A and B are shown apart, each in its own frame.
Chain A
């Protein structure tokens, strides 16, 4: 994966984190919620998951 692509993914994940608002069903953003929402964009060609996100600075509960 190129550095540019890595940055694209990090930016996409950051946008999901920033847009999150707690609800009754999802009171806090978990790593599962983050990756699930990223997968929903159909842009996850690299099949990144929670471990990748954690390695790139996303500190969320499992």
Chain B
């Protein structure tokens, strides 16, 4: 009996909710917000600064670093996701290794915060770290003081 009823259900005419006859109103909206997290802070030689931000429901978060000395590095703690996947420095490109280029305010070094360490752009696009805020540590490994600005770009898709 149960099988018959299931068969009847399967053969009942249905309405395609996204057919041309009954289109579903869909509005796709992409929004971008840029926030300054660190505003031209001076980092003494051989030291680091930390910064953090909250989560606002974005689909992807990018960091943009302007720094006038090198080498430097940026280590992300995308908690609590990092605990789950065992990665604490996940950005793509990976900024945790020593960076040997400076980056100006007009042309910052930019990277996507990812759930895991990614080997390529496609992996990074498929694995943005979302669902939690994050913190980071920016290290100045140069022999002189560095000037650093950190912005985050929140993207809602």
Residues of chain B at the chain A interface (Cβ within 8 Å): 36, 39-42, 44, 66, 68, 104-107, 144-147, 149, 151
Contact = CB atoms under 8 A, between A and B. Distances in A.
A48 B42 contact: yes
The list of the 10 closest CB pairs from A to B, nearest first, reads A50-B40, A50-B39, A32-B105, A62-B36, A35-B40, A36-B147, A49-B41, A30-B105, A31-B40, A47-B42
Interface in A3-62: 25-27, 30-36, 39-40, 42, 44, 47-51, 53-54, 62
A32 B145 contact: no
Which size bracket describes the interface of A in this complex? 20 to 34
Given A42-B144, A44-B145, A50-B149, A32 B104 contact: yes
22 contacts: A26-B104, A30-B105, A32-B39, A32-B66, A32-B104, A32-B147, A35-B40, A36-B40, A36-B68, A39-B42, A39-B68, A39-B147, A42-B144, A44-B42, A44-B145, A47-B44, A49-B40, A49-B147, A50-B149, A51-B39, A53-B40, A54-B39
Contacts of A54: 39
B40 A34 contact: yes
B149 A39 contact: no
A25 B41 contact: no
A32 B40 contact: yes
A35 B104 contact: no
A27 B104 CA distance: 12
Given A44-B42, A47-B42, A53-B40, A35 B147 contact: yes
